[in-house]
Chain A
């Protein structure tokens, strides 16, 4: 009787432990070669726009030109 209870307890614990393997996604990240997977940079939305480039060009002419 005691060994039967022990067997059931072991089976229950083993079942619980194995079920844990199929729980929610543990944050596994799949990588594609050369594809950026990090967070989005808000600068990417403005970089390359005409206004952005004009501002930098004005700045360049203001501070980088020869003295």
Chain B
């Protein structure tokens, strides 16, 4: 069975932030929330690398393990989603996530946290597929339309790849063979338990 995974090829990422923009535009992400971010390591130094980071939809998701109201669920193809009607905005998932994926909208002037928001792998949430309610709460449900996350589809250098883990790994392996050198599957070991 297919398991959906993200992979960011640091050799190809040019820090254009198109993935961030595509995500915000496609999902109407509220101000102050970035479901996806581009992080640059060793900025300005020789050998600097950029990686695009969002929820990695971990195999054994730590956010789900610590949630006191059990609002997380995982689809058959490995996408980790949550129910905003159940979420109490406690912030436990934020502390548990190794990728800093959970985000909280600031709803009042006093810093009260709202419902948690994170990347859904463009798979919406527990509402009728592609309904207005689903779009308002979770954003687009491209998976139900047979499409993959827009951040990866929009990536001009194909640094960000999203899809079935086997296909992603095959594609990346071919690149490494062509390119030479060692694979750098950033975040894969932590998220999926495999190098």
> A65 vs B168: C-alpha distance in the bound complex, in angstroms?
9
A contact residues, range: 20 to 34
> A54 vs B71: C-alpha distance in the bound complex, in angstroms?
29
Q: Given A38-B86, A43-B123, A53-B2 in contact, is the A63-B79 Cβ separation under 8 Å?
A: no
The interface bits of chain A over 32-57 (1 if a CB of B lies within 8 angstroms of the residue's CB, else 0) are: 11111111111110111000110111
In the complex, chain B residues whose CB is within 8 Å of the CB of A36: 70-73, 83
Does B139 make an interface contact (CB < 8 A)?
no
Q: Are B75 and A47 in contact (CB under 8 A)?
A: yes
* Of the residues B64, B148, B171, contact of A56 by C-beta under 8 Å: B148
Q: Are A67 and B83 in contact (CB under 8 A)?
A: no
Counting chain B CB atoms within 10 Å of each CB, the highest count among A32, A53, A56, A57 belongs to A56
With A37-B71, A40-B126, A47-B143 given, can you name 5 additional A-B contacts, CB distance below 8 Å? A36-B71, A48-B1, A48-B77, A63-B148, A66-B158
Q: List 24 A-B contacts (CB under 8 A).
A: A31-B68, A31-B70, A36-B73, A37-B69, A38-B85, A39-B83, A41-B75, A41-B125, A42-B144, A47-B77, A47-B143, A48-B75, A52-B146, A53-B2, A53-B164, A56-B77, A56-B148, A58-B146, A59-B148, A60-B148, A63-B148, A64-B158, A65-B171, A67-B158
